[in-house]
């Protein structure tokens, strides 16, 4: 059946996005994972992938147009011919008049690879008053469970999903009205569309057929990409490959052209198994350590460093504080909602010696202090990952790593030292 293409929510504070360009034309054949259009927000410009296979039809948003989050802008249909709107859309339009007037709150997109979220529970009673910054509901994705703020002040006039419902990203889950509702509305996701008709099973969706064999590379054996080389792949493919333990570098070695999308997953899975390396000693263990500091002293320190020392790059300061805890020359990458910058941190305490780098990181510092997350458990990666979360006036610090990447006693020292530096960064200069 047709798949509705909506404007995604790429950030918690995003209300709309601008269509920069369509990467497919109306009537073009589309495979799941293809880059469909490019969208610009106040934070970044990125490509949005197709979530279904078929043909692009019913394009209603032009390039340069600002589109509200959750609004339908196109459809992926079973054929290139323009057909009538599906019954579900007509039913949604018919039911719209029955909803109270107010601001519709949609299911947020908490990650690039997220298609939907499970509503765990409502944190505000139906009909009750709620503030814009108060938590409205709790949502669960495949990565985390978190509370979502209301985003508007008023009264919870309608709930359009019930606990346990899986809601697509961008679909309305609540209505907040400025006046107290006389008859609050409570619905579930299943009530918003008519009962499905019994029809013959549809033909399988068209999928891109992979090459029967990897494309030949150069005459000499293909070399593995250097640590500093960037592999161009969609965020969704990166996540799925990591979950399945697959290495995208093997597509490079096989000569498969970049960028990689979800349609390349089957090719990666069918590559001949890599020969396992012989390991000696104890088995590799995943480790997760957590620490807390009562206050976040970094903000005041960064202001002082910029005014008194001319060190205006706060990420370089953050990387310098973290890299010093390793006790050796290292490259530290600071990642903030997908925007990553790497720095070479020499031994010693001179923060002015920290310089930008293109090398692969020895330590990844994930700064989520501006997010609503209260905890993470992402699993160990190739390098140790330090995550910063806001906790009251202080911080919660989480280190995820493996015993192969860092010894347990070194992991304890790293987290303890870094927590102390974030509590009082001036101790770094002593």
Reduced to 3 states, what is the DSSP secondary structure of residue 251? helix
Residue 277 in this model has a pLDDT that exceeds 70:
no
Q: How many helices (H) and strands (E) does the chain have?
A: 7, 24
- 326 close to 301: Cβ distance less than 8 angstroms: no
Confidence class for position 230, pLDDT limits 50, 70, 90: low
Residue 80 in this model has a pLDDT that exceeds 70:
yes
Contacts for 273 with CB less than 8 Å, ≥ 6 apart: none
Burial degree of 175 (CB within 10 A; 0-12, 13-18, 19+): buried
pLDDT tens across 353-379, in order?
899 998 889 999 999 998 888 888 888
CA-CA distance, 184 to 130, in Å (whole number)?
A: 14
Q: Which single residue is written with the structure tokens 């709150």?
A: 105
Does the reported pTM lie above 0.85? no
Contacts for 177 with CB less than 8 Å, ≥ 6 apart: 100, 101, 102, 103, 154, 155, 157
Domain borders along the chain are: 1-92, 235-270, 286-429
CA-CA distance, 244 to 275, in Å (whole number)?
A: 17
pLDDT tens across 369-423, in order?
988 888 888 888 888 999 999 999 899 999 999 888 888 888 998 999 899 999 9
Q: How many alpha carbons lie under 13 Å from residue 214 in its C-beta half-sphere?
A: 19
Domain 1-92 grouped into CATH 1.10.10.10: no
pLDDT of residue 143: 66
Strands (E), 11-61: 16-22, 29-30, 35-40, 45-49, 54-57
Cα separations (Å) of 224 from 87, 157, 183, 221, 252? 51, 57, 64, 10, 7
The fourth-level CATH superfamily of domain 286-429 is Chloramphenicol acetyltransferase-like domain (3.30.559.10)
pLDDT of residue 362: 92
Query: What is the percent of the chain with per-residue pLDDT over 90, rounded to a whole number?
Result: 23
pLDDT of residue 111: 65
pLDDT of residue 193: 41
State the chain's mean pLDDT as an integer.
Answer: 79
Confidence class for position 274, pLDDT limits 50, 70, 90: low
Confidence class for position 91, pLDDT limits 50, 70, 90: very low
pLDDT of residue 197: 38
CA-CA distance, 110 to 233, in Å (whole number)?
A: 19
């Amino acid at each position: 059946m047709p798949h509705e293409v909506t404007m995604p929510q790429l950030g918690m504070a995003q209300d709309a996005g601008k269509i920069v360009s369509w990467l497919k034309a109306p009537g073009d054949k589309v495979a799941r994972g293809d880059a469909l259009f490019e969208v610009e927000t106040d934070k970044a410009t990125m490509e949005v992938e197709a979530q279904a296979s078929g043909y692009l039809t019913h394009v209603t948003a032009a390039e340069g147009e600002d589109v509200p989050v959750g609004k339908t802008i196109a459809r992926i249909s079973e054929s290139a011919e323009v057909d009538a709107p599906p019954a579900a859309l007509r039913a949604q339009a018919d039911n719209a008049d029955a909803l109270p007037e107010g601001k519709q709150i949609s299911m947020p997109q908490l990650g690039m690879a997220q298609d939907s979220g499970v509503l765990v529970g409502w944190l505000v009673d139906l009909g009750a008053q709620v503030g814009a910054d108060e938590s409205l509901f709790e949502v669960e994705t495949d990565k985390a469970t978190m509370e979502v703020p209301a985003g508007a002040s008023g009264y919870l006039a309608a709930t359009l999903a019930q606990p346990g419902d899986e809601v697509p990203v961008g679909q309305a889950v609540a209505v907040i009205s400025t006046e107290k509702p006389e008859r609050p509305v409570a619905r579930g996701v299943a009530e918003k569309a008519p009962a499905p008709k019994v029809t013959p099973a549809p033909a399988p969706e068209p999928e891109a057929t992979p090459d029967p064999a990897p494309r030949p590379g150069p005459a000499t054996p293909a070399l593995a990409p250097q640590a500093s080389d960037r592999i161009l792949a969609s965020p969704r493919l990166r996540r799925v490959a990591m979950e399945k333990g697959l290495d995208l570098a093997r597509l490079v070695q096989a000569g498969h052209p970049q960028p990689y999308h979800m349609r390349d997953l089957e090719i990666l899975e069918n590559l001949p198994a890599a020969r396992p390396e012989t390991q000696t000693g104890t088995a590799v263990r995943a480790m997760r350590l957590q620490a807390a500091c009562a206050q976040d002293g970094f903000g005041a320190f960064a202001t002082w460093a910029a005014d008194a020392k001319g060190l205006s790059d706060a990420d370089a300061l953050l990387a310098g504080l973290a890299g010093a805890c390793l006790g050796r020359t290292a490259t530290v990458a600071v990642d903030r909602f997908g925007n990553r910058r790497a720095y070479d941190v020499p031994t010693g305490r001179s923060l002015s010696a920290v310089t930008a780098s293109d090398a692969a990181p020895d330590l990844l510092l994930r700064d989520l202090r501006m997010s609503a997350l209260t905890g993470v458990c992402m699993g160990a990666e190739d390098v140790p990952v330090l995550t910063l979360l806001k906790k009251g006036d202080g911080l919660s610090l989480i280190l995820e790593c493996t015993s192969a990447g860092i010894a347990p006693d070194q992991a304890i020292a790293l987290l303890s030292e870094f927590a102390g530096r974030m509590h009082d960064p001036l101790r770094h200069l002593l």
